[in-house]
Structure 1
């Protein structure tokens, strides 16, 4: 073997070693990149699941919050409706007005009924208080609502199917000064009562308590209107208005034509 051939083989051997080393490093780098990519994909998958879980949690909290707000608003509206209907106990500033039959004896020829309290007297007081802004009224512990009857039955007064007798105590919640002033007007209820010797005393109070209505509620002729019936009634009203407007326009045109 010549020296030249020997050098050639050595050179080829070195080249093979270098190529093998380079290929090995390339494969190793490729594997490392693959491992990093796989790891990143796994990390992203875990992170995605965490984000989805957070999103679902927030969505649930938002739904609960909205439901709570709606429930709270509905409850508030229900409480207000019950208060207006007299179904809840009310408390606040107001007045207490006491009436008692006169102790004076009727003079000759006078009607003795003028010296005692009647249903019309009580109704006048109640109407004065309502006009003065009373938010809740009771008569001898009976809550007065729109359908409460106040009428004489013999020597007593029937209120919410309960017989009440003098003295009468009317409690009202509202601005105390305004309520009292409404009863003390010149020629008003108190002045009229005192003319006949009927006891009429009004006291302002920072804490007037009005009980809830306990009578019966019956509707013989009235009924609740459904949403569909409301729509039909609204459409009928709109149609009637349109017809009336058309007739008015035609009448105006005829009048104008006649004037020409």
Structure 2
């Protein structure tokens, strides 16, 4: 009896072990079958995440390109504005040649007969005569002026040196030809007004002729402008 009971027990144990082994094998087969599916799902999720990141990077790149173009356009506009301002300053300072409508003023010493008692110098063109003409032209809106080819700047001098006149340290003599770019009618009217500079010069026989020109060329100042003592001043606001 004991031997049979032991045999039955062994059969039961082997049956249970067989069932457990069979169940484990089936579970493993199921897991093995599910692995490719899980792997595919994971790869799909990773692919979607990568595509989303790619789209985000493309959007950021496009935004950066737009920003770069805006900055480049802004810098180009700023550079263009600076170039225009520089060109304007060069014109005002006289270091650039100027072309435009204007007036030519030609002056000759007086050829009027004089007596021995009269001072011959009063019949000659002097520096103050040129200064009066230049001042009238500037007051009438002249934008650029030259005298016998010498461009007038903020540092130009007009002064007598013996029988000649010095302009930009260059001696000039009659005939004096003044070229002024601006409104020709206004400048001519300023010089010809009654009791003005032309009337005053005519008292001594100094000849002044004016011609309007559609286009004049006023040359540039041909030296280097330099300042030894002047420097830009800082403008401070009042407290």
- With normalisation by structure 1, the TM-score equals 0.72
2:174 aligned with 1:185:
no
Task: Identify the residue that residue 169 of structure 1 maps to in structure 2.
Answer: 177
Q: Any idea what SS the aligned residue of 1:147 has?
A: coil
CA distance in 2, matches of 1:36, 1:93: 78
2:48 aligned with 1:40:
yes
CA distance in 2, matches of 1:212, 1:172: 13
CA distance in 2, matches of 1:190, 1:224: 39
Gaps of 5+ in 2: 1-29
Gaps of 5+ in 1: 1-22, 239-260
CA distance in 2, matches of 1:216, 1:118: 27
The count of residues paired between Structure 1 and Structure 2 equals 209
Higher Cα radius of gyration: 2
Which residue among 75, 78, 87 is the counterpart of 2:86? 78
RMSD: 2.5
Task: Identify the residue that residue 126 of structure 2 maps to in structure 1.
Answer: 118
Task: Identify the residue that residue 195 of structure 1 maps to in structure 2.
Answer: 203
1:21-32 alignment to 2 at 5 Å?
Answer: none
**How far is 1:68 from its partner?**
1.2
Which residue among 137, 143, 149 is the counterpart of 1:135? 143
- With normalisation by structure 2, the TM-score equals 0.78
CA distance in 1, matches of 2:224, 2:40: 86
Task: Identify the residue that residue 3 of structure 1 maps to in structure 2.
Answer: none
- Relative to its length, the structure with more helix (as a share) is 1
The one of the two structures with greater contact order (alpha-carbon pairs below 8 A, sep at least 6) is 2
Q: Any idea what SS the aligned residue of 2:214 has?
A: strand
